[in-house]
Amino acid sequence: MIAPSILAADFARLAEAADAVKGADWLHVDVMDGHFVPNLTLGLPVVEAILRSTEIPVDCHLMIDDPDRWAVGYAEAGAHNVTVHVEAAADPVKIAHDLRAAGARAGLSVKPRTPFEPYVELLRHYDTLLVMSVEPGFGGQEFTPAVLDKVRRARQLVDAGELRVLVEIDGGINSDTIEQAAEAGVDCFVAGSAVYGAEDAAKAVEALREQARRAM
């Protein structure tokens, strides 16, 4: 699965950016509040506008403080997958329940330096594990290969039937890094500059998908 990150698109033309990646599996939308991460991007009203502009399932990644209060609003708006950070959630089990009750998949994200093992039991309440391969907050950063150890462990648990999560990765995914991420066991690849920096975004999506398929 390829999820183009609209963070890398022209914010003055978000509807056109969504249309440019027809054929993508998900459309990844980064919500940053300037508190949990130092950057500020967009919020629920803009996400609602994006949802009205595309039929691609929207994958909301909430890099925000107090997701316990705000996350369910994105699910109620129609987001397909809503991911919160374990480092920010006060009651992640309740968040997962609320997101699912509102009709969305529930995703849990870990930063590059956040260990995976302490949250295995918690992930039994979730549908998606988002492994950050850069520090959250800004696009265009270099991929951190060390996080693939977390991906490999998650893949082992999924393949053994101990977890039922889709493994997603976000940060520095491009033609140079997608194959090693695929080999480690990633299911869904978030790609920003590699898609929206290409001359043809839709063709870039297909090229990345084919690379991942070959590596798998």
CA 195 to chain centre: 15
CA 211 to chain centre: 19
The two structure tokens encoding residue 53: 């502009």
Q: Catalytic pick from 25, 98, 127, 170?
A: 170
pTM for the whole thing? 0.95
Q: What are φ and ψ of residue 188, in 5° steps? A: -130, 130
The two structure tokens encoding residue 86: 């374990």
If pLDDT is split at 50, 70 and 90, which confidence band does 139 have? low
The two structure tokens encoding residue 211: 């690379």
Dist CA 142 CA 145 (whole Å): 9
The two structure tokens encoding residue 174: 């491009």
Q: Taking residues 74-81, report their average pLDDT.
A: 98
What single-letter DSSP state applies at residue 210?
H
Dist CA 189 CA 25 (whole Å): 10
If pLDDT is split at 50, 70 and 90, which confidence band does 41 have? very high
Q: Catalytic pick from 30, 59, 127, 187?
A: 30
Dist CA 71 CA 61 (whole Å): 10
Based on the residue annotation, tell me whether 68 is a catalytic residue of this protein: no
Based on the residue annotation, tell me whether 170 is a catalytic residue of this protein: yes
* CB half-sphere exposure, 182, CA atoms < 13 A: 19
